[in-house]
């Protein structure tokens, strides 16, 4: 009969073998035969037979991009550490570049608008121009384009532009760009204008300051201009909503596997007539704010149909500092409207920038004369 100690050792040995078979050995087999093995096999193949030297790390980086791109969502992208740093610079409001805002329309990277007094405007770039390539590299996302367009001041970047049916290169020299989130002015003795240009880190603070200043100048009604505002930080949008929308629902975010998240305001809101300007360049956070104002009936929307980006992205940092920015939820207006791919229809449809502003001013003036 086998000694008890030998039996015990045999049992321990069998357990270890079973653990290896169920764990490490299984992982090894999957690695050798599964999808990861396929990727490494392709890299090894290219490294062996491609007629030029290859950068294995660059190939594997490309595989990471490819995984995210297979979601077929223009807002879900893989970003290298450097691209992520560039993205954060852009949303901070200060960077070195050419001075354009860009977005995705009809699966194309387009210029939403060139900013006044910037190299982009001086170079003749226009709203609606399609960016095909940056320095000869084909562009697949707005974030990728933005990261490549930015760079050291006084260096040149070449944009390949599609305008109507013509394709041409536009060389532009980068300069330091400082983007105010808000611009404001009095339109007449009683109507103040707030142009909310972006939802960056300073937007809610600058909006509150602009609103306070206009009130001291005698403003009794506000025109809020969200045209060409492609969005930004949702938390800044919610903070700005506190300034305009009284206590109640602002937006709901619907996730795949977690409960719906509802955001509310808690204060009194603006407590004066409000007219909001929107157009096809109003997207994402702009549509959250405009949709809440429209549904809560605290202001009129004037202009044209908004862009229709009703999705929210989350950013997830990987161990090497790269980031996967991925769509995590769809947002709904207070009345439950899902606007992704649809946009918001204005209460008063008007085309043309000057005509839109004139109509908004007229409606604000009428609201002061005939308070409800």
In which residue are the tokens 């599609």 written?
162
Residue 293 near residue 337 (C-beta atoms within 8 A) = no
Catalytic residue, from 141, 184, 282, 284: name it: 284
Strand partners for 162 = 130, 167
CA 66/CA 302 separation, integer angstroms: 41
Element (H, E) at 355: helix 353-369
Residue 329 annotated in active site: no
64 given a catalytic annotation: no
3-state secondary structure of 346: coil
Measure the CA–CA gap between 179 and 89, rounded to whole angstroms.
11
* 141, 142, 184, 309: the active-site residue: 309
What backbone torsions phi and psi does residue 107 show, to the nearest 5 degrees?
60, 25
Contacts of 300 (CB under 8 A, 6+ apart): 274, 275, 276, 347, 348, 363
| SS3 category, 277 | strand
What is d(CA 189, CA 368) in angstroms, rounded to the nearest whole number?
12
Q: Which of 262, 269, 291, 265 is nearest to 278 (CA)?
A: 291
Tell me, yes or no, if 73 is annotated catalytic: no
Q: How many residues does the chain have?
A: 372
Q: How many CB atoms lie within 10 A of CB 128?
A: 15
Catalytic residue among 143, 295, 322, 359: 295
SS3 6: helix
Residues belonging to the active site = 284, 295, 309
């Amino acid at each position: 009969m086998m000694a008890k100690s030998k039996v015990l050792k045999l049992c321990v040995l069998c357990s270890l073998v079973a653990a290896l078979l169920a764990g490490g050995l299984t992982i090894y087999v999957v690695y050798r035969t599964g999808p990861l093995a396929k990727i490494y096999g392709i890299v090894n193949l290219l490294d062996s037979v491609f007629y030029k030297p290859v950068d294995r790390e660059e190939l594997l980086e490309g595989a990471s991009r490819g995984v995210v791109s297979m979601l077929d969502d223009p807002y879900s992208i893989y970003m290298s550490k450097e691209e992520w740093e560039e993205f954060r610079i852009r949303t901070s409001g200060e960077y070195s570049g050419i001075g354009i805002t860009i977005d995705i329309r009809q699966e194309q990277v387009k210029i939403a608008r060139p900013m006044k007094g910037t190299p982009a405007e001086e170079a003749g770039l226009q709203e609606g121009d399609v960016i095909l390539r940056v320095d000869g590299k084909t562009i697949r996302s707005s974030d990728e384009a933005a990261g490549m367009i930015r760079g050291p001041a006084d260096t040149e970047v070449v944009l390949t532009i599609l305008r109507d049916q013509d394709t041409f290169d536009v060389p532009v020299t980068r300069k330091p760009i400082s983007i105010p989130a808000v611009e404001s002015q009095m339109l007449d003795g009683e109507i103040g204008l707030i142009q909310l240009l972006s939802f960056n880190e300073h937007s809610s603070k600058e909006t509150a300051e602009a609103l306070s200043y206009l009130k001291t100048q005698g403003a009794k009604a506000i025109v809020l201009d969200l045209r060409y505002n492609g969005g930004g930080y949702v938390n800044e949008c919610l903070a700005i909503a506190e300034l305009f929308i009284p206590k109640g629902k602002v937006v709901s975010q619907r996730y795949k596997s977690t409960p719906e998240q509802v955001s509310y305001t808690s204060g009194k809101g603006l407590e004066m007539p409000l007219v909001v300007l929107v157009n096809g360049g109003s997207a994402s956070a702009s549509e959250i704010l405009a949709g809440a104002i429209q549904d809560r009936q605290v202001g009129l929307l004037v202009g044209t149909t908004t862009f229709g980006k009703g999705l929210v992205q989350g950013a997830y940092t990987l161990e090497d500092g790269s980031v996967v920015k991925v769509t995590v939820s769809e947002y709904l207006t207070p009345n439950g409207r899902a606007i992704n791919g649809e946009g918001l229809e204005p209460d008063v449809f008007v085309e043309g920038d000057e005509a839109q502003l004139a109509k908004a001013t007229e409606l604000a003036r009428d609201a002061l004369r005939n308070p409800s």
